[in-house]
């Protein structure tokens, strides 16, 4: 059973582990009745742990991608005030190394082939064969022996929930520091439509397939210069939203313990038939396969597109800047209003994104572990999510309240930019939801209300969502080789079926093509990994 996040003190962790020594490895989550620490106890832990280095003698190199929006105002995360606070609190100096934007995976591979590894490496899962293969090959350090003494906050968090425990541990070893959600955030990716057009057409917000068709038809009749609808094959968010009404997800998913994929789902043909129908009627824009994301944004913002899927925060921010049109988000599309959908977002609190490993070249592993643990400590969690207390925020009536540094920046930084300069938006940490700490959402009550719109939809659940599985190196290699070929084949066939270049009466030939490319074997590997995960 999932429990609300808490920070445990070193005293509680010691009790949890039964007083085991530094090398002991917890092999199962703690019992649910473990004692919680008081704020005073948690503060004592941080006093004992930090500073990790008192004489300024330790400098560690940290390899991590830098977000493109951050580069608009800073050259390196060395200028980020939250990271500066982490360096001050831990006593560990950090030398940041950033790959070129858009080249992270390519430069990661170059980094690994060179052998001269930095001390800490973000996106450790880029390693060919996965994180555990990186450990087996000697690139990454096993963190487990260090956690009790050097990362008690992280240790407590990954042991408090059995799903998190499954995600992080493999063979009783912990190799990376991962992002851990303190609670599940509100879904942020939804269909967008023009509210001003709905009013003009005297229509309600579309919910069902018939509602969308009526909206698209009205656009064709009354807005002849606009395309009614855009859908992209290559985006998982789009696939999840629009495939959900056909009782499937846009990637791997699990149905009552059975691994499934839309590639060979019995309902995939019905989805393709619908998309082809919309393409044939002119609802789906003819150049849907070639348009880039920024081009689609511009089409919607300029009144040349009636519906597409987007981050609600992104769309709201752009609309506020333009201020010349109205839009709204829609609930997950469905065939009928009473249909129960299973395409809700993952409920897993641990994710592999931004996972950070310590390399075997690390000059001071204990200092590195203590530095990374800071993001899960009481002070570090607040610093990483909100910024530096007293500068970015103050505690008012028991709640953090942002200052003008974040909400009305004196240097002219936008709300999006301050999120990258004065807090840590991406990285391994205990994650507080955007609805509580993202400046752009916090400042504007309408933005927060827009983010929460449809979050109470009881006709959407997440029972199909699947945890990120840990495949063996051999499984990873075999499945990757199959999926590389299969995904290219499916994308090509989807395009041909939707545009009519290939008639849907040849769908059985498509299914045979999956078999010829060993997709059944890829499913078998995934099922084996899932069964192993559930036994962990």
Please tell me the predicted confidence (pLDDT) of residue 267. Answer: 97
Kindly state the average pLDDT of the residues 360-371. 97
pLDDT at 29 over 60: no
Please check the confidence at residue 41 and state whether its pLDDT lies above 80: no
Q: For residues 364 and 325, state if they share a domain.
A: no
Which of the residue ranges 46-50, 406-410, 486-490, 516-520 would you say has the lowest mean pLDDT? 46-50
What's the pLDDT tens digit per position in 292-317? 988 999 999 999 999 999 988 888 87
| Same domain, residue pair 72 and 104 | yes
Residues 140 and 268 in one domain: no
Whether the predicted pLDDT of 19 surpasses 50: no
d(CA 529, CA 130): 14
The answer as to whether 459 is a domain residue is: no
Whether residues 127 and 275 share a domain: the answer is no
Within-domain flag for 496: yes
CATH (domain of 208): 3.40.190.10
157 shares a domain with 15: yes
Q: How far apart are CA 308 and CA 314, in angstroms?
A: 13
Mean pLDDT calculated for residue range 438-467: 88
Residues 6+ apart with CB under 8 A from 452: 186, 435
Within this chain, do residues 31 and 174 fall inside the same structural domain, yes or no? yes
Shared domain check, 194 and 168: no
Percent above pLDDT 90 for the chain: 72
Helix (H) or strand (E) run with residue 308 in it:
strand 307-311
Measuring CA to CA, how many Å separate 364 from each of 58, 59, 116, 120, 142?
A: 8, 9, 15, 10, 14
Whether the predicted pLDDT of 288 surpasses 50: yes
Residue 534: band (very low, low, confident or very high) from pLDDT cuts 50, 70, 90: confident
Stretch 372-383: mean pLDDT: 97
- 515 assigned to some structural domain: yes
For residue 468, being part of any structural domain is answered with no
**Does 420 map to a domain?**
yes
What is the arithmetic mean of pLDDT over 114-129?
92
- The answer to whether residue 529 is domain-embedded is yes
Query: Coil, strand, or helix at residue 62?
Result: strand
Please name which of 368, 366, 427, 356 lies closest in space to residue 121, comparing C-alpha atoms: 356
Share the mean pLDDT of the chain. 89
Would you call the peptide bond into 154 cis, given omega within 30 degrees of 0 as the criterion? no
Give the H/E segment covering residue 188: none
**Residue 78 within a domain:** yes
Assess whether 299 and 215 both reside in one domain. yes
Across the range 358-374, mean pLDDT stands at: 98
- For residues 221 and 238, membership in a common domain is answered with yes
User: 161 and 283 share a domain?
Assistant: no
At 470 the pLDDT is: 80
Distance CA 253, CA 263 (A): 11
- 457 lies in a domain? no
d(CA 221, CA 213): 12
Cα–Cα distance list, 142 to 54, 135, 169, 229, 510 (Å) = 25, 7, 11, 49, 44
Closest of 52, 102, 97, 56 to residue 75, by C-alpha? 97
Percent of the chain scoring above 70 in pLDDT = 91
Q: Which residue in 147, 131, 77 sits closest to 376, CA to CA?
A: 147
The pLDDT value given to residue 9: 34
Mean pLDDT of 346-355: 81
Comparison of pLDDT for 158 and 443, the residue scoring more: 158
Q: Are residues 262 and 177 in the same domain?
A: no
Beta bridge partners of 122: 356
Please tell me whether residues 58 and 176 are part of one structural domain.
yes
Q: 59 has which bridge partners? A: 93
Which residues are registered as beta bridge partners of 121?
Answer: 63, 357
- The whole domain housing 219 covers 189-329
**Total structural domains in the chain?**
3
pLDDT digits (tens, 9 = 90+) for 381-429: 999 999 999 999 999 999 999 999 999 999 999 888 999 999 999 999 9
| Predicted local distance difference test score (pLDDT) of residue 350 | 83
Reported pTM: 0.74
Average pLDDT of the segment spanning 264-271: 97
Q: Is the pLDDT at 35 greater than 60, yes or no? A: no
Residue 3, pLDDT score: 29
């Amino acid at each position: 059973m999932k429990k609300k996040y808490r920070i445990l003190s070193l005293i509680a962790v010691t009790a949890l582990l039964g007083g085991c020594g530094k090398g002991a490895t917890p092999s199962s989550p703690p019992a649910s009745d473990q004692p919680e620490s008081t704020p005073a106890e948690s503060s004592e832990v941080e006093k004992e742990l930090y500073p990790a280095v008192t004489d300024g003698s330790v400098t560690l190199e940290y390899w991590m991608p830098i977000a493109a929006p951050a580069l608009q105002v800073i050259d390196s995360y060395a200028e980020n005030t939250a990271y500066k606070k982490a360096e001050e609190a831990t006593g560990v100096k950090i030398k940041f190394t950033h790959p070129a934007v858009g080249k992270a995976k390519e430069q990661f591979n170059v980094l690994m082939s060179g052998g001269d590894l930095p001390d800490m490496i973000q996106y450790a899962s880029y390693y060919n064969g996965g994180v555990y293969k990186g450990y087996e090959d000697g690139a990454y350090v096993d963190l487990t022996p260090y956690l009790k003494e050097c990362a008690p906050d992280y240790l407590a968090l990954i042991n408090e929930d059995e799903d998190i425990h499954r995600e992080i541990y493999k063979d009783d070893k912990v190799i990376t520091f991962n992002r851990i959600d303190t609670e599940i955030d509100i879904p942020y990716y939804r269909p967008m439509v023009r509210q001003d057009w709905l009013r003009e057409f005297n229509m309600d917000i579309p919910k069902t397939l018939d509602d969308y068709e009526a909206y698209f038809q009205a656009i064709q009749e009354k807005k002849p210069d606009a395309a009614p609808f855009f859908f992209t094959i290559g985006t998982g968010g789009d696939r999840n939203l629009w495939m959900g009404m056909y009782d499937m997800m846009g990637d791997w998913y699990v149905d009552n313990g059975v691994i499934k994929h839309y590639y060979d789902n019995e309902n995939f043909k019905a989805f393709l038939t619908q998309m082809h129908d919309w393409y044939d009627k002119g609802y789906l824009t003819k150049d849907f396969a070639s348009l880039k994301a920024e081009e689609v944004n511009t089409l919607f913002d300029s009144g040349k597109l009636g519906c597409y899927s987007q981050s609600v925060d992104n769309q709201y921010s752009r609309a506020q800047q333009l201020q010349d049109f109205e839009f709204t988000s829609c609930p997950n599309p469905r065939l009928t209003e009473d249909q129960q959908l299973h395409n809700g977002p993952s409920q897993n609190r641990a994710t592999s994104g931004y996972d950070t490993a310590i390399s075997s070249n690390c000059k001071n592993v204990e200092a590195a572990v203590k530095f990374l643990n800071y993001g899960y400590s009481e002070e570090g969690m607040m610093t990483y999510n909100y910024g530096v207390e007293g500068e970015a925020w103050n505690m008012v009536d028991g709640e953090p309240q942002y200052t003008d540094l974040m909400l009305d920046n004196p240097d002219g930084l936008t709300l999006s930019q301050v999120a990258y300069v004065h807090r840590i938006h991406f990285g391994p940490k205990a994650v507080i939801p955007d609805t509580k700490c993202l400046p752009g959402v916090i400042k504007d009550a309408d933005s927060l209300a827009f983010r929460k719109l449809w979050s109470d939809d009881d006709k959407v659940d997440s029972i199909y969502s699947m945890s990120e599985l840990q495949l063996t190196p051999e499984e990873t290699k075999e499945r990757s080789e199959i999926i590389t070929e299969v995904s290219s084949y499916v994308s090509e066939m989807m395009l041909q079926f939707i545009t009519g270049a290939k008639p849907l009466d040849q769908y059985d030939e498509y299914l045979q093509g999956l078999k010829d490319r060993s997709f059944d074997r890829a499913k078998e590997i995934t099922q084996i990994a899932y069964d192993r995960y559930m036994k962990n």
